[in-house]
Chain A
Amino acid sequence: MSKAWYVLLLLPFIATLFPSLYNSWNPTLFGFPFFYWYQMLWVILSAACTGLVYLAERRTSAARK
């Protein structure tokens, strides 16, 4: 599998380890300040990134068989 897929695994680090990116009250969503819903959203996005890498790995190992 192409190593490029692994870049996806770095995204959650960049997205969450710089609080200056998301430390604001607006825009709010369902009453949640941005600070909170942004990080909750990244729970899902991070899982999606890891999931994509998992599927990509599996496809490659299946293709090799």
Chain B
Amino acid sequence: MDATELMVFLFFFALVTVLGFVAAHWQRGDLSLLDEWGLAGRRFGTIISWFLIGGDLYTAYTFIAVPALMFGAGATGFFAVPYTIIVYPFIFVVIPRLWAVARKHGYITGADFIRGRYDSHGLALALAVTGILATMPYIALQLVGMQAVLQAMGLAGSTGLMKDLPLIIAFAILALYTYTSGLRAPALVAVVKDLMIYITILAAIFVIPAKLGGFGHIFKAADDALNGATLLAPKGYAPYATLALGSALALFFYPHAITAVLSTKNDRVLKRNAVLLPLYTLLLGFIALLGYMARAAQVDVQGNNQMAVPLLFAQVFPHWFAGFAYAAIVIGALVPAAIMSIAAANLFTRNIYKEYFRPGCTPQEEAQVAKLVSLIVKVGALVFVVGIPLTFAINLQLLGGIWILQTVPMLVVGLYTKWFHRTALLIGWAVGMVLGTYLAWANAFKSSIYAVAGVGGYIGIWALLVNLAVVIVLSFVFHAIRLSNGKDETSPADYVPSSVSA
């Protein structure tokens, strides 16, 4: 443990803690209402949304896991780049429709929309449960990112409680300011976090190659260390493409992404962000290459690839700057963890508690329950990381992506047409969930790629194809036998944002 490094780290951590609490007073609203606490009053403009959505999607786990994958597996890990390229044109077209209908009807979660569109409690519950299940391990993985950094700093003791204590303290602070400030806290903290991340990465791409003899040498050294895996093998093409496509389709339908989307002021903000968010992808490309830099620098990760980036920083940067970079990564974990816990809390409160336990609850009670649930979710994630083997969290995260993809038919297609029958959607979802989980299990959770007829593809995509087929066939059947498809409370005009029709 180095004193300078630690002081710099603690200074920035303290700074964002203060910001987190101050955020309650920013763009003042009545925080005892869910719209204000959980969506910050739906008032965020282009710039804040850019920081918030960016901070939400490019997480500490990304900064640790993507380079770790490059470090261990080579070119395959770079799929994160096409994935975050194609997501934005898709979002540009689809998401403003969700925003518009949510604003019109006061929807706070994706499940609110499903319930209104299909008049189906079962389908809304399926979506809410999927969202909560997929979010929990995701939060846990933010902690994994933090833990790698704390370990590199020598802050985490080697045994028992001391091993986890710094993590617990950081998380307790996060839990308190999320409780008091709601979505405003991660939004404000995201600004500081991103400035720090940008500074860190800019320094890394100038300083590290200079020390290692240039990018040409880095690629060459990585290629030697990885036995040529810095290019794809031809049988890796389909997995690469399907992973990118599947991850892109799923990304904005995670509850935390929907939360960030619905907190924006209007659809213009969303469309501008679809244009501006790729700046993060550019950054992500360089972050991924840190894995190769660690190879070229011959970093010894002692069997844990997650340590590649923190150890590389320790090796090439002076102590004060390493402290700064570590703070950036840890804060980078706090932002998404806060938004995810808020999103899970919104889902639980709106679509489970209010729906099944207290239908007549007051808006104040609703917000109070959401605040408490956001605390419980974080404690749950903490228990997860402290008490359960790390590989289990990573497996569940892998499943999370597969599961979220199974909600794409009801959400995405539902934004365009009501032809898909609600009962068919529910059955298709169940089939997709079971098939996806089974295939991941058949792989012993070692990989998210499964070969069908000799073609390797992302399990989430295979399951989605079967899910869609089931939905289409059954929709024909159910429409033919005139099974009720519920009363749609939305109308076609609700999906067109006012700034487009105006």
* Interface contact B285-A50, CB-CB below 8 Å: no
* Interface contact B82-A17, CB-CB below 8 Å: yes
Q: B89: which of A12, A40, A57 is its contact (CB, 8 Å)? A: A12
**Which residues of chain A from 47 to 65 have a CB within 8 Å of any chain B CB?**
47, 49-51, 53-54, 57, 61, 64-65
Q: Which B residue sits closest to A51, measured CB to CB?
A: B275
Residues of chain A within 8 A (CB-CB) of B88 are 46-47, 50
* Interface contact A28-B216, CB-CB below 8 Å: yes
- What string of 1s and 0s marks CB contacts (under 8 Å) between A21-44 and chain B? 001110010111101100110111
* Given A16-B244, A32-B219, A46-B89; A40-B285 close (CB under 8 Å): yes
Contact sample, A vs B, 25 pairs, CB 8 Å cutoff: A6-B93, A9-B92, A10-B89, A12-B85, A17-B86, A17-B244, A19-B232, A19-B241, A23-B75, A24-B231, A31-B216, A31-B218, A33-B230, A35-B78, A39-B78, A39-B82, A42-B82, A43-B282, A44-B278, A46-B85, A46-B86, A47-B88, A50-B92, A50-B275, A53-B92
Q: Considering the chains assembled together, what is the distance between the CA atoms of A53 and B281 in angstroms?
A: 20
- Is B502 engaged at the interface, CB distance under 8 Å to the other chain? yes
Q: Which A residue sits closest to B271, measured CB to CB?
A: A54
Chain A residues within CB distance 8 Å of chain B: 6, 9-10, 12-13, 16-20, 23-25, 28, 30-33, 35-36, 39-40, 42-44, 46-47, 49-51, 53-54, 57, 61, 64-65
Q: Considering the chains assembled together, what is the distance between the CA atoms of A6 and B81 in angstroms?
A: 22
Q: Considering the chains assembled together, what is the distance between the CA atoms of A40 and B283 in angstroms?
A: 10
Q: Considering the chains assembled together, what is the distance between the CA atoms of A37 and B361 in angstroms?
A: 55
Q: How large is the interface on B (under 10, 10 to 19, 20 to 34, 35 or more residues)?
A: 35 or more
Determine how close the nearest CB of chain A comes to the CB of B364; give it in whole angstroms.
40
Residues of chain A within 8 A (CB-CB) of B90 are 9
Q: Considering the chains assembled together, what is the distance between the CA atoms of A17 and B81 in angstroms?
A: 11
- Is B214 engaged at the interface, CB distance under 8 Å to the other chain? yes
8 further A-B contacts with Cβ under 8 Å, apart from A9-B90, A19-B237, A61-B500, are: A12-B85, A16-B85, A17-B241, A23-B75, A39-B82, A46-B88, A47-B276, A50-B275
Residues of chain B within 8 A (CB-CB) of A20 are 234, 237
Q: Considering the chains assembled together, what is the distance between the CA atoms of A54 and B277 in angstroms?
A: 14
Determine how close the nearest CB of chain A comes to the CB of B243; give it in whole angstroms.
10
Q: Considering the chains assembled together, what is the distance between the CA atoms of A50 and B92 in angstroms?
A: 7
Q: Considering the chains assembled together, what is the distance between the CA atoms of A53 and B237 in angstroms?
A: 30
Residues of chain A within 8 A (CB-CB) of B274 are 50, 54
* Interface contact B85-A39, CB-CB below 8 Å: yes
Residues of chain A within 8 A (CB-CB) of B271 are 54, 57
Residues of chain B within 8 A (CB-CB) of A13 are 86, 89
Q: Considering the chains assembled together, what is the distance between the CA atoms of A16 and B216 in angstroms?
A: 23
Q: Considering the chains assembled together, what is the distance between the CA atoms of A28 and B162 in angstroms?
A: 48
Residues of chain B within 8 A (CB-CB) of A17 are 82, 86, 241, 244-245
Q: Considering the chains assembled together, what is the distance between the CA atoms of A46 and B84 in angstroms?
A: 10
Q: B231: which of A33, A43, A54 is its contact (CB, 8 Å)? A: A33
* Interface contact A65-B502, CB-CB below 8 Å: yes
**Which residues of chain B from 224 to 251 have a CB within 8 Å of any chain A CB?**
230-232, 234, 236-237, 240-241, 244-245
